[in-house]
Structure 1
Amino acid sequence: MQQRRAPILEHKAYAAPSVFQVDNLLREARRQRTTPEGAIPAVCVLDPDGDLAQHLIATGQATPHAHWACYHTQLYAFTCAGIECGVVPYAVGGSFAVLVAEELFASGCRLLISITSAGQIIPAGQPPYFVLIERALRDEGTSYHYRPPAAYSVIRPALAGRLQDAFTGAAIRVLRGASWTTDAPFRETAEAIEFARAEGIAGVEMEAAALYAFAEAQDRDVVCFAHITNQMAVAEGDFEKGLDGGSHDALQVIGLTVRGFMSGSNLGPPAGGAWVENEAMEDDRK
């Protein structure tokens, strides 16, 4: 029998349209669920751990959005940096994250922010802290359905430029660097970790490479942050994200990202030009 390449690398017509279209899926979801037509917030957040969404719901700052038609998830609306934003919790892994991203942009999203817990590879201080992911090692499957094989997916340069100074002087630590995106967190072997260190990688997570490949292929604005919270639980006392599961810090990252994005886009500031921050962000600076 002739040896074949791995199927994930074959039969990929990257410029060809998909037979299965996201708009058609959403049409059927709206029909079956009697979801009213309407746009979702222009800025949305993927929250794989769910801590941010839980905090916003528990404190009365987030409510389900009436126009979200996804079969698999809930979208919650909240206010940050003076505008309505949406947050989707629990979309863990590249394939799930990109499925939701496709639906978000088809429903009216214009900027997608992903904030995911990540394991520390090259130490940059004691966790927790954030890394704005500039490139992500493609050690997952979804990216290969959107872009030809390559070692890394990268943030779109124009978006990176808008965020160049977004975190200067911020009270929270936001570094810039590379991540390793894996589909198999319990196969993070010593050999794989050593390779990632040799590549200069800051942390390991499960979504960024897939999301950046989708963003490049579909011409979408997506920015991914690794929230470095752990050292693979090799010792007790790991996975500490901060107050309320790191929600206050995450809200600051979102607010600063929104401001940086708006400074170079046609979204513009909210009506009247006033920036109104939510209660959690105000409390963090007191």
Structure 2
Amino acid sequence: MPQHMKDADTMLLSEFDGDDTAILEPSHSDASVPQSGLPETFLCPFAQQIIDELAAEGRITPIGAINSVNGSLPMYSMHHQGRDYGVVRANMGAPIVVGDFEEMHYFGAKHFIVFGPCGIIGEDRRSDEIIIPTAALRDEGTSYHYAPSSPSIAAQSASLALMEDVLVEHSIRYGTAVTWTTDAIYRETRKKTGERVNQGASVVDMEASALMAWSQFRKTDLYQFFYTADYVSQDGWDQRRDQRRRPLEDFLRIALLIASRCQ
């Protein structure tokens, strides 16, 4: 391998460039959006089932789409208790969800309430518990283009305070955790999982560290919470589908409570 390629191999993810203007910008998007722009506050569930149920109940109205070679990602409006919110499915994986949110932010979205399942590592937790990630181990690539290289990144303190205030006010039980954000769900080896637990992580996901870095770079408000799902341990993987019985409407309700506090 040529020497210059060897050098690049050791530098790529440490070469953060803080220039906020790139060659390809969200303004180049060909998204379909209302002429007035997008709602400022968006509910962003990872579960397509939530979107399907809202549509079947007539609670959301299509307002546009993010368009790509993969097809269209529909965006909706939802009127709830006197306010209008945006609704969109958060796609799995750091690069795609950040790319989608970049375009949405350009068209007017400012507050992103993101919620979906996380895996449990280390000490076991029950399924369907609410977890607020306070920090994330950066084992993905996207965040390194939005924040200088570091092993971890902390969530926005103001967002954490707002979410905790909402949950306490409504007597909703929750926990906090450091999450391990990884690009490769099929490479959670016993060695790596044990190391991440020793580094302080107790849950695992695929997007949090990138969303934290992106939101802080773009100065947007990110409110992310998890609900616990499968268990990844040194003994293997337990999907625990029979334990995951909490209605998805419960998590949507929490998201709406948080959204109602966004200004």
Taking the TM superposition and a 5 Å limit, the aligned residue runs for 1:162-201 are 162-168=162-168, 170=170, 172-201=172-201
The CA distance in 2 between the partners of 1:172 and 1:161, in whole Å, is 15
Aligned Cα root-mean-square deviation (Å): 2.4
Q: Does the CA-based 8 Å contact 2:14-2:144 persist in structure 1?
A: no
Q: Does the CA-based 8 Å contact 2:13-2:141 persist in structure 1?
A: no
Q: Hey, what does 1:61 align to over in structure 2?
A: 59
Unaligned runs of 5+ in 1: 268-286
The CA distance in 2 between the partners of 1:219 and 1:124, in whole Å, is 35
Q: Hey, what does 2:25 align to over in structure 1?
A: 21
The CA distance in 2 between the partners of 1:248 and 1:132, in whole Å, is 18
Q: CA deviation at 1:222?
A: 0.8
Taking the TM superposition and a 5 Å limit, the aligned residue runs for 1:30-69 are 30=32, 36-66=34-64, 68-69=65-66
SS in 2 for 1:167: helix
In structure 2, give the amino acid aligned to 1:230: D
Taking the TM superposition and a 5 Å limit, the aligned residue runs for 1:104-143 are 104-123=104-123, 125-143=125-143
SS in 2 for 1:45: strand
SS in 2 for 1:166: helix
In structure 2, give the amino acid aligned to 1:93: G
Q: 1:167 to 1:21 in 2, by over 3 A?
A: same
* TM-score normalised by L of structure 1: 0.79
Q: CA deviation at 1:254?
A: 0.7
The CA distance in 2 between the partners of 1:87 and 1:69, in whole Å, is 12
Q: Hey, what does 2:149 align to over in structure 1?
A: 149
The CA distance in 2 between the partners of 1:52 and 1:206, in whole Å, is 19
The CA distance in 2 between the partners of 1:240 and 1:64, in whole Å, is 34
The CA distance in 2 between the partners of 1:57 and 1:92, in whole Å, is 21
Q: 1:110 to 1:69 in 2, by over 3 A?
A: same
Unaligned runs of 5+ in 2: none
The CA distance in 2 between the partners of 1:15 and 1:118, in whole Å, is 33
Q: CA deviation at 1:99?
A: 0.6
Q: Hey, what does 2:259 align to over in structure 1?
A: 258
Q: Hey, what does 1:234 align to over in structure 2?
A: 237
Q: CA deviation at 1:236?
A: 5.9
* TM-score normalised by L of structure 2: 0.86
Q: 1:52 to 1:139 in 2, by over 3 A?
A: same
SS in 2 for 1:118: strand
Q: 1:256 to 1:95 in 2, by over 3 A?
A: same
Identity %: 24
Q: CA deviation at 1:216?
A: 1.1
Taking the TM superposition and a 5 Å limit, the aligned residue runs for 1:197-208 are 197-208=197-208
Q: 1:107 to 1:90 in 2, by over 3 A?
A: same
SS in 2 for 1:74: strand
Deviations 1:86-112 (A, max 9, x none): 222251111111011111111111210
Deviations 1:28-62 (A, max 9, x none): x45xxxx5412222211222231221221122212
Q: Hey, what does 1:9 align to over in structure 2?
A: 13
Q: 1:236 to 1:222 in 2, by over 3 A?
A: closer
Q: Does the CA-based 8 Å contact 1:113-1:254 persist in structure 2?
A: yes
Q: 1:36 to 1:112 in 2, by over 3 A?
A: closer
Q: CA deviation at 1:255?
A: 2.3
Q: Does the CA-based 8 Å contact 1:114-1:225 persist in structure 2?
A: yes
**Farther off after superposition, 173-182 or 156-165:** 156-165
Q: CA deviation at 1:196?
A: 2.0
Taking the TM superposition and a 5 Å limit, the aligned residue runs for 1:64-83 are 64-66=62-64, 68-71=65-68, 72-80=72-80, 82-83=82-83
Give the length in aligned residue pairs: 253
Q: Hey, what does 2:101 align to over in structure 1?
A: 101
Q: Does the CA-based 8 Å contact 1:42-1:108 persist in structure 2?
A: yes
Q: Does the CA-based 8 Å contact 2:162-2:258 persist in structure 1?
A: no
Q: Does the CA-based 8 Å contact 2:43-2:112 persist in structure 1?
A: yes
In structure 1, give the amino acid aligned to 2:188: E
